[in-house]
Structure 1
Amino acid sequence: MIGGPGAVPAELTGRIVTPGDRRYPLLRSTYTTRANPAAVLLPESTAEVVVALRHARERGLPIAVRSGGHGLAGSSSNDGGVVIDLSALNRVDVLDRASRLVRVEAGARWAEVARKLAPYGLAISSGDHGNVGVGGLATGGGIGWLVRRHGLTIDHVRAVEVVLADGTVVRADATHEPELFWAVRGAGAGAGIVVAFEMAAAEVRNVGVAQLAIEARPDGSTVRRWADALREAPRELSTAAMLLPYGPSTVMSLTAVVVAESLRRVRPLVAPLRELGTVLDERIDLVPYPALVPTAHLHPNAGQQPNLTTNGLLAGVDDRSARAVMRAAGGRHRALVQLRSVGGAVNDVAPDSTAYPHRHQDTLVVATVFPPHGPAALDEAWRGLADHTDGAYVNFEGRPGPAAFTRIYPGATGARVAGIWRRYDPDGVFRVAWESGRRETPARGR
């Protein structure tokens, strides 16, 4: 039982949602996973997060923390446990326009952040979908549309407010709780509940957006030329591509974003991408930054897109790895393969400065399978790529556990992360999924 007569703290009255409550169907699940928690708690302040955490811990139930619910691992909900949902903690405030310092609460969605910062001419590079929650992305890394020019989201975090597993509230920054501050920038999931971030935003108003459909050759040459073009491109250009079936062949659906204020600057940066192969379709526009993560993206997360995903980082794309990418996309299970450019400003940061140590790679490869295909199909698609990868990114890993932990936090980084998690959460309240693994199959409706 999560509660009972007299058992609910006054601060949570009306904010505990259990099965049978009309709100429950829209709060029980994540975007990728249908779940059946015993209760969803809806705190509206840091103090209420403390109360919610203590209330959940007193009942001895598994605890999941949710800022948005897009998380591919599905670990922001659970079966039979408690979900602490931060959606009501969604304020976005400009603290100092001159220094571009903003405060963003963890339950805000990135569409809301973009909309509220736009009148100030500011933006934060923050993933690629407006419905993603701030907390999960900003504690895992943050590979967004501006990544090569402005780096990862975590690279702009200046301070955090954290509720620890014992209910203590701390501020962490470069001089206060520096080890905790190091960990929450890349490995925040096991350290505590980050309820707010202070970040340095960037001066961004408009961006160029080019969308191209290019026939991708099965020998991998299109993929390799894409990587070569990005290696030579100015940092203003970042790209993401999906490899999709196109009759008997494959098409590269490419989105390129240029940090620029005029199409005169955008067109020459995009031009080399038109040389990658036969262009089947194209469009170039100049848009305000919020158009990339619009409020139209906002929606409830009800387990509507079950899938299983894994990823790896590449330190350069050669002929062999490019062919492996194409084999993964064109195999019998037709995994959805995505390519994202990193490098640039990401690699200006020292590998040991944050818990995201991958500062020499230039490409992220993501593979996803959908029901009825499961782990065996994903493993088959990924097998040829695995030997080419050099690390992985936590926010695109659908199967948390010890093996994934080693790829995401290799060597000394992993040892440091594990030590900090044990120090700040000795009872393992937040790191259960990473110690035992949580998802082995794509979620199905129940």
Structure 2
Amino acid sequence: MKGPALRGDLVTPSDARYERARVAYWAQFDEVRPSAVAYCETPADVAACLAFCQDAGIPAVPRSGGHSLGGYSTTDGLVVDVSRMSRVGVRRAGDGITAVVGAGARQVDSLAALWKEGVVVPGGMCPTVSAGGFVSGGGFGWLTRRYGMASDHVLAAQVVLADGRVVRCSESVEPDLFWALRGAGGGNFGVITEYEMRPRRVPTIVSFHLRWPWDAAQAVIAAWQRWIIDGPDDLGSAMSVTAVGGDPATVDVAGGWLGDPAALERHLDELVGDAGRRPEIRTVQEDSYLDTMMAAFGLTDTTAGQRQWTGQNPDAVIPRQHFAVDRSVLVDRPIPLTGIGEVLAAFEREPRPGQVRLLSFFALGGQVNRVPRTASAYVHRDAQFYLAFWVGLDRDLPDEGDRHAAQTWADDGFAVIDRYSGGEAYQNFIDPALGGWREAYYGENYSRLAEVKRTYDPHGFFRFAQSIG
């Protein structure tokens, strides 16, 4: 195809780079073949792509990190890739400091760059997720209970609209757009190219990990729910029940503590006592926030070249995911003991070789829930934790039977956990199978979001299966 004139690169199917350029994080969407991939380097590049697509009548989809669980980071039209718009730095004014994070900056890279300046912005647990989607949909991690969602830290955002205008929005400039981009921005209103964010100083963090066997799962889940909901904001935690193939499942509790290690040990003693059983593994380690997160990513002592997806360069060590299904909810109160039993029964149903099963909990609450539900588009201010049935397949090309079994297992698990949800779901883990997604993702904010959409994208150029409008 003859495409827009760019400062960056336009990669078409005839280009030797095309096979690498067209794929994103999830291999299950590799059958989608874009007409081209535009590697944009400036907002003007993005504007040129949007104008070209509208003139040619083909769709354009923005891609920052390419991690959409629904496959919404790709298209048979033009992929507008902003991964090269990855500048990370700080702006200083007097005693104040703000962080500037390009939409294409991956978490592992922005963490390393801001660390050199003595600050961080709250990030998540996947090193290759980029700021464009992560921040605009909320964004949670170990720092969430203490400082809030990543989207709560946005002071301004630069976005290219469908009509080609480059807008910098904030509380005082284009405030409705600014409101919408903090919680509902992914692919809905324009192409985000840069954020200005409030950074935090987190020199050290105390990480912890505890593991129990499968037969302790019900007691540990019940105890963890009480422990994290009643715990201090400085305590961030996740819990997972994991089963690989037909092997016995394990129950893991991990997290980060922004305080004294001795105080954390006392908190962990409370969890263990409530669970009624000592864990098989219990580790506590204080380290720099940078080193702790690199260890959590599995990237300790790696080079920048190694911190890429395999296939992007010969040294890359981060594997792409083959196939996964994630069915998740947000939960605003502890699941009762009988409900936990139902969840675990669904988890262990019909084990299948090649499946990696995960029952995943991630603590929210704390500072997140002190923000009013309508203060930004991120509405989930009552949720205490995220809960998911996640299943992955460890094969490059799983057959239809494997795919169907994985989807059925996740769907059956979702039917159980949804009974204990608050009726809401986390839009960053977007779910094509979710019914009532408008209310689940955006609640009472949806009508205002639809109005913002009509104002800034009146012709609905930015659209996908679960887009606003």
**Structure-2-length-normalised TM-score:** 0.85
2:332 counterpart residue number: 315
Distance 1:321 1:358, change over 3 A: farther
2:389 counterpart residue number: 367
1:135 counterpart residue number: 132
Distance 1:271 1:129, change over 3 A: farther
2:414 is aligned with 1:418: no
Deviations 1:109-135 (A, max 9, x none): 111111111123211111112211011
1:304 counterpart residue number: 321
| 1:190-269 matches, cutoff 5 A | 190-217=188-215, 220-245=218-243, 250-260=249-259, 262-269=260-267
Which secondary structure state, in structure 2, belongs to the residue aligned with residue 386 of structure 1? helix
Q: Which one of the candidate residues 112, 120, 124 is aligned to 1:123?
A: 120
Structure 1: distance between partners of 2:207 and 2:215: 24
1:351 counterpart residue number: 373
Which secondary structure state, in structure 1, belongs to the residue aligned with residue 420 of structure 2? coil
Displacement of 1:101 after TM fit? 1.0
Contact in 2 for aligned 1:313/1:393 (Cα 8 Å): yes
Q: Which one of the candidate residues 129, 135, 146 is aligned to 1:149?
A: 146
1:399 counterpart residue number: 432
Contact in 2 for aligned 1:256/1:270 (Cα 8 Å): no
Q: What is the one-letter code of the residue matched to 2:465?
A: A
**Between 341-350 and 393-402, the greater mean CA deviation after superposition:** 393-402
2:10 counterpart residue number: 16
Gaps of 5+ in 1: 437-446
Contact in 2 for aligned 1:342/1:361 (Cα 8 Å): yes
2:82 counterpart residue number: 86
Q: Which one of the candidate residues 146, 163, 167 is aligned to 2:164?
A: 167
Structure 2: distance between partners of 1:53 and 1:307: 31
Displacement of 1:397 after TM fit? 2.3
| 1:26-45 matches, cutoff 5 A | 26-32=20-26, 33-34=29-30, 35-45=32-42
Structure 2: distance between partners of 1:234 and 1:106: 32
Structure 1 runs of 4+ aligned residues shifted over 4 Å read 216-219, 246-249
| 1:265-304 matches, cutoff 5 A | 265-275=263-273, 276=275, 277-294=277-294, 296=302, 298-300=307-309, 304=321
Q: Which one of the candidate residues 340, 357, 382 is aligned to 2:414?
A: 382
Q: What is the one-letter code of the residue matched to 1:406?
A: E
Contact in 2 for aligned 1:310/1:368 (Cα 8 Å): yes
Q: What is the one-letter code of the residue matched to 2:347?
A: A
Structure 2: distance between partners of 1:157 and 1:177: 14
Structure 2: distance between partners of 1:265 and 1:218: 25
Displacement of 1:356 after TM fit? 1.1
Displacement of 1:370 after TM fit? 3.2
Displacement of 1:427 after TM fit? 2.1
2:350 counterpart residue number: 332
Structure 2: distance between partners of 1:218 and 1:396: 28
Structure 1: distance between partners of 2:38 and 2:434: 26
Gaps of 5+ in 2: 312-319, 394-401
Deviations 1:170-206 (A, max 9, x none): 1111111111111100100211111111100111011
Q: What is the one-letter code of the residue matched to 1:238?
A: G
Structure 1: distance between partners of 2:267 and 2:120: 21
Structure 2: distance between partners of 1:176 and 1:328: 49
Which secondary structure state, in structure 1, belongs to the residue aligned with residue 403 of structure 2? coil
Displacement of 1:169 after TM fit? 1.0
Distance 1:10 1:28, change over 3 A: closer
Structure 1: distance between partners of 2:240 and 2:21: 30
What is the count of residue pairs matched by the alignment? 427
Structure 1: distance between partners of 2:308 and 2:73: 16
Contact in 2 for aligned 1:121/1:203 (Cα 8 Å): yes
Deviations 1:217-274 (A, max 9, x none): 47733211101011221111111122113877532122111123x5334433333333
Distance 1:10 1:315, change over 3 A: closer
Which secondary structure state, in structure 1, belongs to the residue aligned with residue 116 of structure 2? helix
Displacement of 1:380 after TM fit? 1.4
Which secondary structure state, in structure 1, belongs to the residue aligned with residue 239 of structure 2? strand
Deviations 1:326-379 (A, max 9, x none): 233222257421000000011011100011111111011012233523433321
Q: What is the one-letter code of the residue matched to 1:223?
A: I
Q: What is the one-letter code of the residue matched to 1:251?
A: T
Contact in 2 for aligned 1:123/1:203 (Cα 8 Å): yes
Distance 1:269 1:25, change over 3 A: farther
Structure 1: distance between partners of 2:73 and 2:149: 22
Structure 1: distance between partners of 2:49 and 2:132: 17
**Between 177-186 and 414-423, the greater mean CA deviation after superposition:** 414-423
Q: What is the one-letter code of the residue matched to 1:399?
A: P
**Structure-1-length-normalised TM-score:** 0.89
Distance 1:156 1:393, change over 3 A: same
Which secondary structure state, in structure 1, belongs to the residue aligned with residue 96 of structure 2? coil
Q: What is the one-letter code of the residue matched to 1:331?
A: R
Aligned Cα RMSD in Å? Answer: 2.3
Which secondary structure state, in structure 2, belongs to the residue aligned with residue 100 of structure 1? strand
Contact in 1 for aligned 2:123/2:141 (Cα 8 Å): yes
Which secondary structure state, in structure 1, belongs to the residue aligned with residue 361 of structure 2? strand
- Higher relative contact order (Cα pairs below 8 Å, separated by 6+ residues): 1
Question: What percent identity do the matched residue pairs reach?
Answer: 29
Structure 2: distance between partners of 1:428 and 1:402: 22
Displacement of 1:400 after TM fit? 6.8
Contact in 2 for aligned 1:115/1:290 (Cα 8 Å): yes
Distance 1:66 1:401, change over 3 A: farther
Deviations 1:286-337 (A, max 9, x none): 2222234436583238763321212101111132443343233222257421
